[in-house]
Amino acid sequence: MGGESATRTAPRSGGAGKGPVGSKAGQRLSGAAVALGLVLFLVGFGWGALAYVPYTVPTSSMAPTIDMGDRVLAQRIDGSEVRRGDVVVFDDKTWVTGSSVVKRVVAVGGDTVACCTEGRLTVNGKQIEEAYLPEGSLAEITDFPTVKVPKGRLFLLGDERQGSLDSTAHLTDAAGGTVARGTVKARVDAVVWPMEGLLARPTGFETLGALSRPGPLHLIVAMVIAGAVLVLGGAAYGPIAKRAGRSRARTESAGAR
């Protein structure tokens, strides 16, 4: 009225008004990032829960590879997948009743294992370089006679040979200290607490055959991290765009004075 201008200006996108925050393209991208991030995060966690099982190692028989009280992630596998050098979790009632055992497989069915030649474990007549043994340690501290491992069975030792109740402690059993492949529940992939990461590959056994490949833990962790980043990044778009809009609005108001 009275010649006064009644023109109203709609609030700018991302400004101080009640309009949508940020551009429509930005909102779509942030929504897509959140959705994709949730999928990656949930699939990664679900895959990890199906593929792995956590264990707390109660003894120091696998030191220094795994210390007493360490938390490990073990990949669920079938006993037929076990290869020399693997650190496995198994249940054998003739060894321990009511709890799982963690040891390293040093020989499989058909192998001949003995200790020691020049201080080293021998499998099928070949001396094994065991880099995972405690520094300055020799395999000869658990001297034992030659054992022929029956088909379908495994011979296992602890990395701390001096105090490990392993196959050498059961040589007088009916199975000669060996355990059936079917007793294996999982293969240890990594020490997660403390965060020491994936176990080193037992390369000393490569001359006897192929080693086991690491499980999908790296991929699972990458999916979970990528999912979390996408969710957080997408969710942060709105507040960042809103703050940027307010800052732009203040600058424009100051310039109009």
CA torsion through residues 34, 35, 39, 40, sign: negative
Residues belonging to the active site: 61, 103
Q: Are residues 72 and 65 in contact, defined by beta-carbon separation less than 8 angstroms?
A: no
| Long-range Cβ contact pairs of 148-152 (< 8 A, separation 24 or more) | 148/111, 148/112, 149/107, 149/108, 149/109, 149/110, 149/111, 149/112, 149/113, 149/178, 150/109, 150/175, 150/176, 150/178, 151/109, 151/110, 152/109, 152/180, 152/181, 152/182
Q: Which of 47, 16, 51, 45 is CA-nearest to residue 231?
A: 45
Q: Are residues 189 and 198 in contact, defined by beta-carbon separation less than 8 angstroms?
A: yes
